[in-house]
Each structure stands twice: as C-alpha cells, then as structure tokens.
Structure 1
Amino acid sequence: MKTPLSRRTLLRGAGVGLALPFLESMQPALARTQPTKPRRMLAICNNLGLLPDYFFPKTTGRDYALSPYLELLQAHRNHFTVFSGVSHPNVDGGHPADVCFLTAAPHPGSSSFRNTISLDQFVAERIGIQTRFPSLTLGVNTRSRSLSWTGTGVAIPPEDKAAEVFRQLFLQGNAAEVAAQLQRLDTGRSILDTIAGQASELERTVSAHDKERLDQYFTSVRDLEHRLTVSRGWENKPKPVIKAPVPVDPGSPAAYMDKVKVMYDLARLAFETDSTRAITLMLEGVSSPVLEIAGVKITDGYHNLSHHGKSESKRAQLKAIDEWHMKLLADLFTSLEATKEGDESLLDRTMVLYGSNFGDANTHVTTNMPVILAGGGFKHGQHLGFSTQQNYPLPNLYVSLLHRFGLEADRFASSTGTMRGLELT
C-alpha cells in the first residue's frame, strides 16, 4: 500500500512553508472510508451588536419565520441555530462586557474586576498542542479589545493586521528570507510561484479528487494574497494633499467590512490547513470611524450610530451596516461549506459562534444577546427562544461546544449544564 501523506506536510521554498489542506491521500488506504478529522471553533463578537427588532425571529422552533437579518442567511437555514433570551448572568457594565463574551466573568465594569479564562483558551490548554498554533486571536480595528483570556485573567492581544497573520501562518525561514518573500508578495509574486515545482509534483501523485481539492485551495490562497498585497501597498503609500475628500483605501480603518472579510478568509485557511482549531475574532466598532459601505452613505461613526436614540436616519444607516455583517457571515458559511474534508465540509467540522455582548447597544443592555451557532455537527435549522425576562445562561452553550470537542467539562463559568434543545447530528 502507498504510504499516506503526513497531515503536517509542507511545500517549502525560500522563506515559505505552505501547509496543505486535508486530502484523502493523508489517510491509510484502509482508513479512508472513515478518516479522522478534527473539530474546530471560530468565535466572533460584534461588540456593537445588531438592531434587535431586525434580528430576532418572532416565532420559535424549526418552522420559525426568518427575521429580516436572518433572511440574508436563508441559503444556510439548515446549518445554523439562532438563540434568543440568552445572556451571561451578572455580566453588566455596558461596553466593558465585550471582553467577557467568551469568559462570562461577572461585573466587568467594576473597579475590582478580574477576567477569567475564555472558552478558546480552555480548549487550547487541552488540545492546542495538536496544531502549530494552539489558538489564534484576531481583531478588526483593535489590538487591545480581546476575546481571548488566559487562566490567570490576562488578555491575549489580538492581531488586526491580516498580512502579519498570513506571515505567521505561511512564511518561515530566517529574517532575510521572510523579508525577501514579503517583497515578492508586494510585487505580486504569489507564494505558489515559489513552490510551483513542488506543487506540480504533488498534484501528479495524488488522486483526481485531491487534485481538485488542491486546485480549490491554491486558488483561495492566490485570492487572499491579492487582497493582502493591495491593502499592504496602499498602507505604505503617502496620501496626497488635495482639496477633494480623500477616498478610503483598503488600509483605512473605515474599510471595516473589507477587514472583516479578509479575517474570515484567514480563519478558513487556518482551519483548512489545520494550523489551529480555536480562533477568536473581535469586531471592534466602538473606536471605528465613519465606515465605507457600498451603496450606502454613512454620515456618522459606528459607535454614535449604535446610540441612535430611535432616530430613523441613524437606524437606517445602522441597518445597512448590520446587513453587511450578515452578508459576510453568509459568505463565510458558503466558503466553509464549499471546502470539503473527506465526505464532510469544513462547516460540518467547524463550530461558528457569532454574537454580541449587547442585546441593545442603544441602551447598553447586556441581556437578550443575539447569538447564532452554525455548523459543528449539531442539528440546526431552529430558533431556540428562552425567556426575555429571565434569561437562559449562555455559558450552557459553551459547555455543549466543549463536549463537541470531546472534552469532559461539567461546567464552564456560570453554566448550569448543557444547552437545552441543542442536539448532535
């Protein structure tokens, strides 16, 4: 029998080490009918929340009517569960609550507050040794507001520069080799150009299915490289002094949605190459400027819009921003579903948790949090609605996610058990 490829196989060039996605050739011939595939988790917090009247469905169960925002996820209805009436017990304090999204540590606004371990780090401590990176902590427009916290209550600073994360994932070698490869990327030369010979040789030795899988993966790497190169180039160019308004380039914090998309793409590639199995992403809106949204004129900062005071003009702009969040989330689900891992998709193996610390950012309410869970091997296609007056503990969901990882955990933070109504496939 042919010796299977190692799951940690790298295609190597000067300053480059490109990991491979899951291939059927990585399994012994007799084991390919039931390949061993890992579980993963991507946890995303939008720290300015969503307009609740457009997000929450009015009916519950499996036949619930999609809300306006969830209509944008219609194609994936059977791949996600939406929750209402959930929150973290005793997590209050308005904006400071975002750092408790994955910890559920109480009273983040108090002077004596000390955070606790986050869900991703709980996972990383137990299975992180199985991958090159125990976890990845990412952010959009922030290097301080973190979702990831150690067991001693220390924040892990998020990376908000996609190119830096890309370098960590794919560039290896000494400083001169890495610098040379970055220069090649700046001039439009793909990592794949550096390892073209090895890639071609690999494609000649694998099955037709694997060859198709590699082609899909290499295409996604080239697309991501192109976006990163464009962004990096603009960031290094001085801005001209002109009288007309300066257009927003891809490197600007105002290009918020572009940043969200590239982070989603990075997360998918990190999972596809099994570089890590736990990723957090803080979508920071509080310090973000006036956003550039295609087809919509935004006139105020994201934070100010969230405090709309029921102004129809502000709500309309905020709704446009929220809808883009949902569109990008739908695109993420689509890309994970299209990425195959054996007889399953990457979405089947990845728990995507999307939510916010705010139930309503306009009034700083931290109850009735908007939460979606997609993929990961659960029976989805339902709205689990709990009491909006006596909220159900969201940490119960976290216990269910830990169990899906195969980890034994009776409790996490203020949980009282597993998530009621959420079943495995």
Structure 2
Amino acid sequence: MKNIERRQFLQAAGVTMMLPSLESFSYGAQSSASDKQRMVCINFGLGLHGPHLFPEKSGTDYEETPYLKVFSEFRGRYTVISGTSHPQTGGGHLSDKAFLTAAPNPGSASFKNSISIDQLAADKIGDQTRFASLVLGMRSRGLSVSRNGVDIPAISRASTVFNKMFLESKPKEKAEKIQQIKDGQSVMDFVLGKAKSMQNRVSKQDKQKLDEYFTAVRSAEQRLQKAEAWEHQPKPDPGVKAPRDVVDGKDLVAKASLMYDMMHLALQSDSTRLITFFEEGMNAVPVIDGVSQDYHNLSHHGKDPAKLTELQIVEEQQLGMVAAFLKKLSETKEEGQSLLDQTQVLIGSNLGNASSHDTRNLPIILAGGRFRHGQHLAFDRKDNYPLPNLYLSMLQQLGLEIDSFASSTGTIRGLEHI
C-alpha cells in the first residue's frame, strides 16, 4: 500500500477514535438503567497523605481516619484499599503517566506507555453514547492513553466541556462534519478495495494480516456511520446555564468544582459513561483559607507538623469536592436507581508518599458501582498487591470479557461483585 494511502486511512481512522461503532447502535432504542455501567477515574497528582487516609484496622469495623470522615455518609458505598501499587513502576512524578495503564518504568528514557483502562473500556462500551469518553484535567495533561500509547490531551475548561456536550453546531459546521465523515468513508472504501485486490497475491501469513486489516477497516467504517448518525441526533438540554470559567489557576477549589459539575452533567445526560480527571498539583499557593505555602512544597512536608497541617487542609478540600460529586450521583435517579449505583468512581494517586516520591502503598478508594463495599481492604504494605488486579475487576464489571490487564495476576481479592 502506498504511503499516501496509509496516511489517508490513518487520518480517517483517527477521526473515529472517539466515536462509537454501529453494531450496538439502536436507532430510537434506549438502554435500561441496569444495562448502563459507568466509570470515573480521579487522580490527585501530589498524592494523599497516607496516615490521614488509611485506617489501622482492616475489614468493616474500622475507625474512620480524618480523610475518610469526609465520606462518612457513604461508608457503606466505598472501599478504601491499602498496600497496593503497580509492579515495576517508579519514576516519582512521572508515574502519573502510568496510573491508569500500569505500564512499567515510566521514569525511563525508553518508556513506552500502553492503553489506559478507560480507553480499553471505551472500545467496548463507548459506542453507546455520543462521546466514547471524556478526558479532563486542571491543565492540558490528562490520564488517558490510546491503544498506541499516545497521551490524550485533557480538556481543562469547564465551558469547553459544556459546549461539547450541549451546544449544537451551526448548520454549516454540522454539514462540514458530515462531509468529512463521508470523505473518510470514501477513503476507506478505496483502500479496502486496493487491499482486497492483493489477497490472491500474498503469502498465507500476509493473508492473515490482511484479514486483521479488513476487520479494523470494517470497524472504522461502522464508527464513521455511527458518527454520522450522531450528527443528526439533537444534543440534550442540560437545563442549566453554561459555566463561567475560573480564570485564576490558583483557585483550585473553584476550578475543580466546576469540572465535577460537568462530570455530573455528562453522566446525568448520558453523554458519556467514561471519564478521567487529573487533578494535577501546582507550584503555587492555592486559594484556600488557612493555606500560606505552595501546594507542591507542602507535599514535600518531610513530616513537618506545620506543613502537614496545611497539607491536610488542601487535601480535605479536594476530597470534599469528590464527596459532593458522589452525593450528586447518589441523588440523581434513573429508573429507580442512583447514578452512584451505576458508576464506579476510582479515587487515588500515583504517589503513595509524595514527600519522598514513593510510588508504593498508593492511596486508593473505589466508590459506587456494583461492588460489595463498606470495608478497608488491607494488603501487605511491604510486599504490595498489584493494583492492576483492581483494574481488571473494574473492567469486568463494565462488561469486558477479559482475564488480564497489564501486570494483573487475577481479579482483586476480597472485593465482591453484586
């Protein structure tokens, strides 16, 4: 195949990466609430102070720590997990690249990332909504990674998220999008025809490669057809005004709160069922009462009591926003079920101890979804349990028929599906 044809095909396929496939699209039909499984993954880039998060006692009869008190009303609807990490993952701050992929050695110059759990899930259930996934962040960096190991840029403005979900394109823009989709279909029809003409002139091994290629092209064609169908579907009315973006980047609480509002709207409107949100740290003093030092400096507390006091204020504010998000999900009903019952919410960090850039003993909470919660699931803090096992359980809960993810050794021990 000529280079220009390959480039054309890749460009056409690239257009469809965030779009759903035709096979599962039922015109005018709606999934029941019990069929809709959702996942939200939240990462705090500067960690969460372990002693303020993890209880001393395992099981259900644990005493709430300062951070878990923030989630008191949801005690029976989350599991706090200690003693886990990604095998062979060091790299300090660079480990955020592998938080949702579990790819080894993110600090290495030769690091090659792999697909993140949300994008793997998007391949399975992304076709059920207008947007296969939403990748959000406080800045342009996100947590999501494509199948080819490429970082997916994050949307960092709440107004952009809102407009993407709810603002109708102008007729001319919509017509241009539809034409681009049709052009993509024409390109793929052309290259598929060229590839088929080679079938009788290649080896058995190459025929297998061509079969794989045909499958990929058909899948891309179906996604293009689905994309065109979505362009003819009206966007939902959110019933609220568009948000005003927070200009001051140091106003961490206001900016993040808006993004949580957008996440709730996205799930409520069923615009997507997969969201990642990277609450990146900052080298600045956040606009929070009682905080006088820059956030990054506070994370390198060295057990200084004054720094730990201010760090606790920041992290309790962050977790408080998550708790408010969970409350909105729990109060939003769909066919008698709450969105929280249908949504797995992963809360955690790639750093177990930000002060020393340690990537072991990661702070992990899983809320919502169809799991039997209400416990502290404690693993060995010296010989950590693989976090990818949790990811495998989450992916299976979403309906993926897989038996491994990254370096998993099985599903997570002690967390039951319901």
Shift of 1:176: 8.8
Q: Does 1:66 align with 2:64?
A: yes
Aligned to 2:128: 130
Counterpart of 2:318 in 1: which secondary structure?
helix
How many Å separate the matches in 2 of 1:348 and 1:36?
10
Aligned to 1:261: 257
TM-score, L = length of structure 2 = 0.76
287, 312, 315: which is aligned to 1:319? 312
1:237-386 to 2 correspondences below 5 Å: 250-285=246-281, 287-293=282-288, 296-386=289-379
How many Å separate the matches in 1 of 2:402 and 2:247?
42
Counterpart of 2:356 in 1: which secondary structure?
coil
Per-residue deviation, residues 184-237 of structure 1 (Å, max 9, x unmatched): xxxxxxxxxxxxxxxxxxxxxxxxxxxxxxxxx98x842x63xx23x3xxxxxx
Give the counterpart letter for 1:292 in structure 2: V
Structure 2, unaligned stretches of length 5 or more?
1-27, 175-235
How many Å separate the matches in 2 of 1:131 and 1:366?
35
How many Å separate the matches in 1 of 2:349 and 2:169?
39
Calculate the aligned-residue CA RMSD, in Å: 2.0
How many Å separate the matches in 2 of 1:38 and 1:312?
46
Aligned to 2:191: none
140, 144, 155: which is aligned to 1:148? 144
Give the counterpart letter for 2:341 in structure 1: D
1:185-224 to 2 correspondences below 5 Å: 221-222=239-240
Where in structure 1 do 4 or more consecutive aligned residues deviate above 4 Å? 175-178
Greater Cα shift, 124-133 or 413-422: 124-133
Aligned to 2:169: 173
How many Å separate the matches in 1 of 2:253 and 2:406?
32
CA, structure 1 residues 115+27, in 2 after alignment: closer, same or farther (shift >3 Å)? Answer: closer
CA, structure 1 residues 347+36, in 2 after alignment: closer, same or farther (shift >3 Å)? Answer: closer
How many Å separate the matches in 1 of 2:160 and 2:287?
23
Shift of 1:173: 2.1
Asked whether the equivalents of residues 48 and 306 of structure 1 are also in contact (C-alpha less than 8 Å), the reply is yes
Counterpart of 1:362 in 2: which secondary structure?
helix
Asked whether the equivalents of residues 389 and 410 of structure 2 are also in contact (C-alpha less than 8 Å), the reply is yes
Shift of 1:146: 2.0
Shift of 1:333: 1.0
Give the counterpart letter for 2:143 in structure 1: L
Aligned to 2:86: 88
Aligned to 2:412: 419
Structure 1, unaligned stretches of length 5 or more?
1-25, 179-216, 232-249
How many Å separate the matches in 1 of 2:293 and 2:34?
49
Per-residue deviation, residues 128-162 of structure 1 (Å, max 9, x unmatched): 1221111100001x20x321001111000001011
Shift of 1:277: 1.1
How many Å separate the matches in 1 of 2:95 and 2:33?
41
Per-residue deviation, residues 14-40 of structure 1 (Å, max 9, x unmatched): xxxxxxxxxxxx989xx9xx7554100
Q: Which structure shows the higher helix fraction?
A: 2
Q: Percent identity between the aligned chains?
A: 46
Give the counterpart letter for 2:95 in structure 1: A
1:114-125 to 2 correspondences below 5 Å: 114-125=112-123
Per-residue deviation, residues 63-97 of structure 1 (Å, max 9, x unmatched): 11111110111010001000000000011010000
Asked whether the equivalents of residues 253 and 288 of structure 1 are also in contact (C-alpha less than 8 Å), the reply is no
Q: How many residues align?
A: 330
CA, structure 1 residues 306+36, in 2 after alignment: closer, same or farther (shift >3 Å)? Answer: closer
Q: Does 1:98 align with 2:91?
A: no
How many Å separate the matches in 2 of 1:338 and 1:35?
15
